[in-house]
Structure 1
């Protein structure tokens, strides 16, 4: 009963946190046709600071972890993040009426990790007295970055293929569905397409800031500037970001009316399916390296969660044409509560399969 009470309290806390409160506030302002605007330059500055902070935090966690003990769980985390996005590409992106770009962005957000859901999982394990590895927090960036980059690359490749399919013939007329004109190197239709898109993704402002922060946290000692500048500003900047995305989400909400059921079903089912994928990966790590039952549970929690910090600004910057009503609404409004409610399931499965004693 105490565990149920803790889970209910965690869900209530989600609705009281700035992440969701400011998102809803932005939607209310947009619905009321408020003239409030945040300049694009300020938005880009906020995103850069947030992702630098997230990257540095992840880099410092990895730097302080036991790298040998971390290796196999990290590989599993990467595989889970990529696998969740690939699963989304063969389900959500193929549903009639769902814009492929929105499907990729939603799958990317569900493949990435929610720090708040992970914290809720840790709180449950500590309440139950279940031990887990100290480096669990360092697995966050492996799954998170792998999922986001995979989603962005797949989305850009799909867009490139559609653009190439609607080519221009030598006489200047449009050719639909075939008859592609010769493309310049690095453009759709050339062997260098994947390399070009990968480089473009890594060089994008959002991913560049994330990678730079990761490198600084891993290779240097930024604790002083992190604690004095980035950490105090983080929550305030995140609230402004959510306000902006809430306004954008409302403005594009009408685009989802015909396919809202698809996102509802995905948001309700994906956390459980993804959590099972994470649980399977955790079991592999357990049998290979002795990864603890608590670690298996938390890997499942990470897989079941969807990003509420690094994901939205990264996708908004890298895939601006994607509809935030789809990926943020499905993730924050549906996926996060289901992921939190599923935590006892992973505890029960771990007890059943490998034992918690």
Structure 2
């Protein structure tokens, strides 16, 4: 009972932090029909600044870190992203009323990473004075790309299987990493990775990461990015809260299975990330804060890089299904679950 009491107390305390409060405030405004609106250009600017900040700090930390300590968490991030998609392929994608390709596309977004959720997790940690490895931001592309590649490959296989079964034949599909040949989809994996790396979110993150490693941006991070971080993040959470509420209406067009999945997936996926983070903790001394943020990344669903990647690679998938469930329900559930992972880490490892 004492464990549960401490867990609940920690969760309530974290929910009162500005980051989560602004998210809830945005949802309330949208529910009340408020005309409050932030221009799209400002939203994109906020996301760019936050991602550059995360990337720069990750690069600075990678420059100073032992690469052996980074290797195990990076592998854990990749395994987490792939596992989430595979779980979705055998659960949501097989649920009644769910198209296989729609289910796989949805699991791909849930396996990929939300930059805003990761930033929210970092803000919660910083607000509480809880330490974590600075290279956490460098794990983003590992989980993001692994999940999207897995989802798109499985989605294309599902599409091919549906098409050939309609013709009374067996589904066959060749996936190659480059060049033409095999009569299948030439260079599909290379194309997916390239598109993902070129997306605005991952590009900003990788640019910051590279600059943090090869340059000396410590002064500009301290003088410009650090003072802006909390304020811009609060605005981002307000925007996401309003958008999440508006997306809920899109779920009326798809099967109820998406709602159940979107509510449960962030917690289940976060616990998978938490478990693999614990493995990294025992193998390399990965911090409790690092375990929390790996869980937060696993719990998140991509809201920036994932949707355009999925839309371009799987045009037959229904955006109302994968965007409505991820942004409308998955993102707020993931952000509101951050206190749970903080409390678990404190109970299991201790800060």
Shorter-normalised TM range: 0.7 to 0.9
Counterpart of 2:106 (choices 72, 88, 102) is 102
Aligned to 2:20: 20
The structure with the largest alpha-carbon Rg is 1
1:327 paired with 2:326, answer no
Change (3 A) 1:263 1:309: closer
Q: Distance in 1 between matches of 2:168 and 2:190?
A: 26
Q: 1:131 maps to which residue? A: none
CA distance in 1, matches of 2:186, 2:70: 31
Write the distance in 1 (CA, Å) between the matches of 2:349 and 2:282. Answer: 13
Describe the shift of the 1:226–1:34 C-alpha distance in structure 2 as closer, same or farther (beyond 3 A). same
Once the two structures are TM-superposed, the CA of residue 44 in structure 1 deviates from its matched residue by 1.9
Is the aligned partner of 1:277 residue 2:276?
yes
Are 1:346 and 2:348 counterparts? yes
Partners of 1:76 and 1:282 within 8 A in 2: no
Residue pair 1:106, 1:326 contacting (<8 A) in 2 also: no
Offset at residue 190 of structure 1 (A): 1.8
Q: How does 1:136-215 map to 2 (within 5 A)?
A: 137-161=133-157, 189-215=184-210
Q: Greater shift after overlay, 82-91 or 276-285?
A: 276-285
The aligned residue for residue 82 of structure 1 is 78
Q: 1:222 aligns with which of 203, 217, 224?
A: 217
Partner of 2:292: 301
**Could you list the runs of 5+ residues in structure 2 that have no partner in the other structure?**
312-318
Counterparts of 1:176 and 1:29, CA distance in 2: 52
Match of 1:91, SS?
helix
Give the match's secondary structure for 1:25: helix
How many residues align structurally?
Answer: 319
TM-score (norm: length of structure 2)? 0.73
**Conservation of the 8 A alpha-carbon contact between 2:59 and 2:213:** yes
Equivalent residues of 1:117, 1:305 under 8 A apart: no
Distance 2:40 2:157 in 1: 29
CA distance in 2, matches of 1:229, 1:298: 25
- Structure 1 CA distance for aligned equivalents of residues 169 and 219 of structure 2: 56
CA distance in 1, matches of 2:114, 2:80: 7
**3-state SS of the aligned residue for 1:217?**
helix
Query: Aligned in 2, Cα 1:182/1:220: closer, same or farther, shift over 3 Å?
Result: closer
Q: CA deviation at 1:214?
A: 0.7
Cα distance, 1:252 vs. partner? 1.9
Which string of whole-angstrom CA distances, capped at 9 and with x for unpartnered residues, describes residues 248-300 of structure 1? 21122241782333344334444334322222233333xxxxx4xxx364554
Q: For residue 304 of structure 1, report the CA deviation from its aligned partner.
A: 3.0
Task: Measure the CA separation in 1 of the matches of 2:4 and 2:234.
Answer: 29
d(CA) in 2 for partners of 1:86, 1:28: 35
In 2, the alpha carbon distance for the partners of 1:238 and 1:307 equals 20
Q: Is the 8 A contact 1:275 1:304 kept in 2?
A: yes
Contact 1:92 1:103 in 2 (8 A): yes
- Residue of structure 2 in register with 1:353 after alignment: none
How far 1:119 sits from its partner (Å)? 5.2
CA distance in 2, matches of 1:308, 1:268: 6
2:133 aligns to what SS in structure 1?
helix
Superposition pairs of residues 115-134 of structure 1, within 5 angstroms: 115-116=122-123, 123=130
In 2, distance between residues paired with 1:310 and 1:230?
25
Q: Which residue of 1 aligns with 2:39?
A: 39
For 2:108 and 2:43, locate their aligned partners in 1 and report how far apart those are by CA, in whole Å: 23
